Chains A and B, each alone.
Chain A
Amino acid sequence: MVEQAAKLRILDCCKKLSEHQLTAPGDVVSVRAEGGMLITNPETEMSSITENDIRFVGRDEAKGTQEALHLAIYAHREDINAVIMNHAPFCVGIAKRLKSFPATLDDMAQIIGHTAKVSPSEEATDILRTLTGRNACLISGGGVIATGRTLDEAFTGSLVLEKGALCYVGSAIIGKPVKIGLFDAVLMRAVYKLKYSKKDQAAKLKEEQGG
């Protein structure tokens, strides 16, 4: 029952990622599960994924670097229960040239952090290092890793990160991007994590875990 409910939530997330045009072939979604994780098949496009494309992978049963990366994230970050890999277009454009980009919007400062960093490679060690203290990062020449306490939070993180990237690009085109100050960004992120979203995310985690 729990696994079935989790699969339905993954399917819903894949559908929304596709509808928002954030994905490309090879992208995957996973959620933490007892003893491992549930993960989508990278060979199936997000818009076409069915329950049969979602499989359980035990802690030591990773096939390939992508599954190993997701398991490594769950092993190193107890606060993370969902991981989304996507190719949101403005994030991809930024990841081609920059090593990071700053939060110019308060929702990015709250959900993602003061800056979004670009991992130098797809190696798990680089990505884990880049994700330190953050919920998301870009991958140089690649896509995006967005994580969350719940799948819902990871999805919202994907949207907010793409919006943050678009806003950095758009504001640079018409003028000058104004960064959120470090003090304000740290304050807003603390309020978001400890207070603003805590009750909502706790309720969603209970739902996602079949409670």
Chain B
Amino acid sequence: MTESEVRQAVKDAGVKLLENNLVQGTWGNISIRLSDKKMVVTPSGMDYIRMRPEDTVVVDIETLEYVSEVKPTSEKKIHAAIYRDRPEIGAVIHSHPLWSSAAAAARKEIPVLCEEHKRLLGGDTVRAGAYGLPGTKKLTNGAVEAMKDRNACFLSNHGIVCCAETIEGAFEVCKAMEENSRAYIESVVKRELGKDSVDIDDIFEVFYKRIN
């Protein structure tokens, strides 16, 4: 793909994340590898509808330097670290889907429940990276460590990171993370209440027991 095609693909992926409720507002960020040394990332603090392809920023994977009046996402370090660590990876999405974020809030490694999700996520479990403030080395290192031999991880109290060879693949990994996280939380409720299916009232029944 040319640089302008990659910029457009980053913009389109952002809109797709919003449309699928996998991110809210300006939160989350996306990158696509442009070459061995460069990546195209989303800008900082701009929502995906307002964002134009030319607002995306080309960033050096090694030095994090960029030539643009638009500031790149503050999470560019995580994206660059994954590209440096994983040469086969061509796209990274950092997002905040609802149910995945609940697992991230518990800072817990959770099992992957179905075979298709194991294939997409790259293992039997999803790990949680160490907690760190946005943009910090601690958050970056925690994500890279938790992503070892996996295509996704939770970022403690923050969200998720997903990667794949293509942006379409990374989006599928995001969807799998959300589906698996929801299925796992609901499986706990089903087991506790002895039900085959659950609704929000069942979820709150278990929650109220937890907080009492």
Contact = CB atoms under 8 A, between A and B. Distances in A.
Interface stretch (B1-9, B41-49, B80-88): B41-49
A171 interface: yes
Interface stretch (B96-104, B119-127, B169-177): B96-104
Interface string B39-83: 000001111001000000000000000000000000000000000
B113 interface: no
A106 B46 contact: no
Nearest to B46: A200
Contact of A174 (B96, B98, B185): B185
Contacts of B105: 104-105, 167-168, 170-171, 177-178
B96 A173 contact: no
B74 to A, nearest CB: 8
Contacts of B47: 152, 200
Interface in B152-189: 156-159, 184-185, 188-189
Contacts of A200: 26, 45-47, 50
Given A89-B200, A166-B98, A174 B104 contact: no
B171 to A, nearest CB: 20
A160 B24 CA distance: 7
Interface string B94-138: 001011011111111010000000000000000000010110000
Give the interface centre of A98, A160, A175 by most chain B CB atoms within 10 Å. A175
A175 B206 CA distance: 12
A103 to B, nearest CB: 8
Contact of A93 (B27, B44, B184, B207): B207
Candidate in A174, A178, A180, A200 with the most chain B CB atoms within 10 angstroms: A174
Contacts of A167: 98, 101-102, 104-105
A174 B200 contact: no
